[in-house]
Each structure stands twice: as C-alpha cells, then as structure tokens.
A and B are shown apart, each in its own frame.
Chain A
Amino acid sequence: MNTDMGYKCTVTNIVRLTRQEKLFQIRIIDPVERALFRFRPGQFLMLELPGYGEVPISISSSSSNHEFLELCIRKAGSVTSALFNAGEGTRVAIRGPFGSSFPMDEMAGHNVLLIAGGLGIAPLRAPLFWINEHRNRFLDVSLLYGAKDPSQLLFTWQFNEWDMISHIGLHTIVEQGTEEWTGKTGMITELFNDIAIDPATTYAIVCGPPVMFKFVCGYLDRLGIPMNRMFVSLERRMHCGMGKCCRCMVGSTFTCIDGPVFDYWSVMNLKEAI
C-alpha cells in the first residue's frame, strides 16, 4: 500500500438513512487494487474527497465482500457535508485499511453481546456481517441498540432480517419515543434487563458516544465480564492514520494504529481515553 496515495473509487450507490446519515457504497475502480483490498471488522479508512479533505470512516460492510465497500457517514462538518452533496458516480479515494480490529476468531465459541449507541452501529456492521456469515461458530448473539429517537435508528430493516435468518437477538430502545413508537424508551442500559448475560462465556463489543462506554462497560464489569473481553472503538481527530501526526494520541497510545479497537482494560489504563 502506498500510504500517500489512495485507491480511486466510484460511488456506486447512496442510501439516505436519516436526515444526517447516508450509506455510501463505493467500488475500487482498478480491478487489481480491488481484488487485493482486504480488511478486518473494526478497521477504518481515510476517505478522500480531493480539494475538500480526508476523514477517517469505519468500514461498515462485510469483510468478505470484495466487490464494494459500504460507508455509513454522518454529515458532521466540511468534508462530510461536501460528500453529502455528492451524487452517484462521484469519485473518491481511500487510503487504508488502518487500525486494529475486533478479535473475531478469539470470540468464536462464545456468546457475543454487541452494544451500539447512535452512529456507533456503523463500525458494528462489519462484525455483525462476520457473525452472520460464520453463525455456527458463535453461541448466543445479541445486539442492543439505542438512539435518541426512532427516526435515528439505522439499519433496523437489516437487523430484523438477520434476527430471523441467523438468530441474532435484536433489542432496540430510544431515549425519546413518538406516538408510533411501540418499543422501549430509556437509556441503553435498560436493555440489560431483557437479556440473560453469562459473564463466563460472553464477549462484548461496545460502540457509541464516550459517555456510553463508562456506563455500559461499568455495568458489564460489575456483572463479571473480564475487562479484556470487552471491546470498544474510540474516536479521535485523525489526520494521517499512520501514527505520525499525533492528533489521535491518548497518552502514549495512537488511536489510529493501536486502536481504534481497544479492549476495556487498556482503555481503563489510558488517561483521557473516555
């Protein structure tokens, strides 16, 4: 990989998810580059829109899909807004993949608990696809997913499908209900009442806003899940993705190369991490 020059891609499909988020399907143009591109669930890309800039984005599609990549992007600032205005056929470039990943092999043979808050579902899709494709390697799999209000829940159509096909227990909750909302309201931690967690055989993946880590991981810790079996994905400002610019540094740790996926024990030992 030339780390200073990205692979050129075409935006092949755009799905509007909410007012703020769109799912971009991109395809590496060069067939050789496309065939060689590999990533592991949890890794991210530096997505380049020439002239506007480059932003870190998690890969949200299945790691076994070598035809295209899916990126779920929230309109957050200058680069992502420019991207939001772009249509199908637009060219972008990607550098990467960068960063650490969820230890899918290590998790095999265990229950897996995936806990997402808001846009935190984006990086969890890759491990979800993985589990879906290797369902018999895992015991019970549950996805707990919370958002501010029902309009902000992403991908629920897909999770319902998975729920039926591969028995992934899906539990959703919103902070603020609406008239049509018949599901639960409250904080994500309330969903713990709905499932039985066996700390001896469970791995957890947690992704969401920083406040969520403290509450959720704290709860799981009290339940007895070892800290090194809980994984979080951290977000920091990133300008290089390669451990050079130091923008993503937390203590002595680079979020871009040592992370973004960390086990909770490492995060607990990092000052300023969450």
Chain B
Amino acid sequence: MIYKIISKAEFKRFIDALVRSNSSFGPRMVDTDSRGEAVYQFQPVSSVDEIAFDYTRTASSAKHFFLPFRQELSRFHFHDDDWDQKVSYEADPVVLFGLRACDISALNILDDVLLNGHFPSAYYLAKRKNTFVIGMDHLPLPDCFCKSMNHHTVPTGFNLFCSDIGDEYYLAINSSKAFNFLREFETRDPQYDENCRLAERRKLISSSFRTEIDVTGLPAILDIEFDSPVWKKWGDKCLSCGTCAMVCPTCYCYSVEESFEPDLQSSSRQKRLYSCNLVDFAAVAGGHNFRPKNGDRLKYRYYHQHRGFAENANQQICVGCNRCGKACLAGINPKDVINDLRLEKDTCTTSVSSSPARS
C-alpha cells in the first residue's frame, strides 16, 4: 500500500479523466422515497459532475456488478443429435467509484466464498479482476451497524481508497494500476499533520455509530435458540419476498435455469440470484419442502449470515449496512431480530437460579 495526499480539486480532475475514458459507475440520486429522502444507486457516469460525492448509501449494493441478477453461464447450439457448448468468462473493464468500507468488505467476503475452496468461480473472478474499485469513507447513518461487525474500515479489496480529511483526500493506493493512473496528477506524500487528521477522521467515524448490535457469541446463540418463538414472531411478519437478499451486498445464493430459444436451435443456461426467503428455496422434487414456513426461511437467512458462515470461514457474512432493514416492507431488520434473540436468552438465564457456587 502507498499513501498519498491529493487536493479535492485535483482528485475531481483525476476522477473526471478516469470516468470519461472508461465504462464507469458511481453513486447517483435516482429518486426520493416516501419520507422525501434521496435514493441513491450505482449508475453509469461519464463525468465527475454526475457523481453524488455526498451520497449516503445506495439502495442496492455493488454486488450486482460481480453477480448480476441474471447471468448466462453457457449456451448450447444444437446440430443433428449433438451440440456445442459455449462458456464465456469475459468481463468488460469497469470503474466502480464510491464504495463504502463495508461495501468493499462485502466484496472481500464474496471473494472468500467464490474464489477460495475447491471450485473457484471463473465468472466471478473475471469480473472482479476487471473492476477498478475506488472506495470512499463516510460518516455512518443512524442505522449503520458495520462497526459492530468490524467492517467500518477495510484493509484490502480495493484499488484506491480515499478518506476525507478536510480540503484533501488521504489516498490509500493498493494497486499498480491505480498508482500509474495517479502519476499524471498532483499528489504528495502525507506529513505528520495529515496522518493526524486521518486518525481523527477515523476516530470521528468510529464514534459516530448510533446503532450497535452485540454479536458476541451469536453463532452459539443461534444454535441454542433454534426453536425460539422469535422465529415465528418475525416469520409471521415476513412476506417471503426476497428483497433483503437482493439488496444485501453479501447474499449470493442462486438458482440455475435452462430454456430453449424459440427456434429450438439453441438453449441457454442461466444463473439467477435467488433468496433463501423465497418459498421454494429448499423444495425438492416430489414436493417436499425442507423449510416450509416463513419463519424457517427467515431463520435460515440469519443462520447463514451469522452462524453457518462463521463456522466455515471464521467470520459472519453480514457487514452491517442495514440495506435489508431499510428495504424490508415488513419492517424486519437485523438489529431487532438479533436483539430479540438475545433477549430470549437473557430472560431465560435470569429467571433460573444463578450457577451453583463451588463447595
């Protein structure tokens, strides 16, 4: 990593040059919600003026650049009784500007899932390798809880990360590509004062969180509270719509579907992002459903995010952005569900007698 200081004006010139000559995406205001708040999304940008530098959080995450909602995995062309199968891993180079630390953390988690292990995904790898990621720090929103998940800072996974230290940005340069691009622009090495301002900025971010979730011991609690009434309570509210998984930066479950083209000369195998909240997620042939109730499926999502993965990869996969909570029409969010579970546990431990003293 190389650190540099760049003035905000020069940084804008740099971003402008970058987005003008590359296929680029950045945060833009696309609408206002029912409360009159701005709705942001990552959208194509062709000049720096189109970017909302002061944006809060995009409604859906940057995951879709790497895991599109629908993606063709392969195409079959038929001739006589035979076929050719075409598999393409090509991905166009893209610049992605303005990701928050937790958004980049989410990409690192997806890397873990999709690139490590026995069967790395070449489709994902191609997109990840060809995407130039520029991160930007920000002050947390009232409902952000990424600090609880330890994702309010991010050490890797980006090409460039900028921290706002007043009139300037403190740049963390994490790839030779980023370093080369920046050569043409005026930057300088950070001095004592700027290092202090970076430290202050980080402290400010860290102390600004208003939402905290206690996730200590959560994997075990989830195990112990498997049959907790909490799941029915929230399950009864859940609409099984799958929106939470769609907007989540780390949800990656999918289904595969195949279909013939109308001419019957070819067919396409497509991957579609799915959600474990959808009713048929665990249904097998013959009609049996391993998770028939809304509560079973809701529980499973929390289970996967906070326990299953914790056991497999030694980390929870929720980064604490609360996109799911914000998008849920039923008002379900991780903070309330997890607090409820904890409460279950706490009330039961306080209602029994304290542990026996050693004699």
Report A's interface with B, CB cutoff 8 A. 2-6, 8, 50-55, 76-77, 80, 89-91, 93, 235-237, 239-240, 242-247, 249-253, 257, 271-272
Contact = CB atoms under 8 A, between A and B. Distances in A.
A247 B274 CA distance: 9
B290 A252 contact: no
22 contacts: A4-B73, A4-B74, A4-B123, A50-B78, A51-B76, A51-B78, A51-B258, A51-B259, A54-B256, A76-B285, A77-B285, A80-B285, A89-B81, A91-B81, A93-B85, A239-B256, A243-B117, A244-B121, A246-B252, A249-B308, A257-B117, A271-B226
Contact of B253 (A242, A245, A257): A245
Nearest to B261: A51
Contacts of A253: 308
A51 to B, nearest CB: 4
Contacts of B87: 2, 4-5
Contact of B267 (A51, A235, A239, A252): A51
A2 B226 CA distance: 38
Contacts of A90: 81
A251 B308 contact: yes
B259 to A, nearest CB: 7
B104 to A, nearest CB: 21
Interface in B285-305: 285-286, 290-291, 296, 300, 303-304
A242 B87 CA distance: 17
A244 B113 contact: yes
B282 interface: yes
A173 B33 CA distance: 64
Interface string B61-78: 000000000000110101
B81 A54 contact: no
B200 interface: no
Contacts of A53: 256-258
Given A244-B113, A246-B252, A76 B286 contact: yes
A247 B281 contact: yes
A53 to B, nearest CB: 4
Given A50-B267, A237-B284, A91 B253 contact: no
Contacts of B181: none
Given A4-B87, A243-B117, A249 B304 contact: yes
Given A51-B260, A244-B119, 14 more contacts: A4-B74, A5-B85, A50-B85, A53-B256, A53-B257, A53-B258, A55-B285, A240-B254, A244-B254, A251-B307, A251-B308, A252-B309, A257-B117, A271-B303
B258 A91 contact: no
A79 B338 CA distance: 40
Contacts of A250: 290
* Chain B contact residues, majority secondary structure: mixed
Contacts of A4: 73-74, 87, 122-123
B282 A252 contact: no
A243 B81 contact: no
B255 A247 contact: yes
Contacts of A55: 285
A89 B82 CA distance: 10
Nearest to A254: B312
Contact of A246 (B74, B123, B253): B253
Contact of B284 (A93, A235, A244): A235
Contacts of B284: 235-237
Contacts of B291: 272
A184 B107 CA distance: 59
Contact of A245 (B85, B226, B254): B254
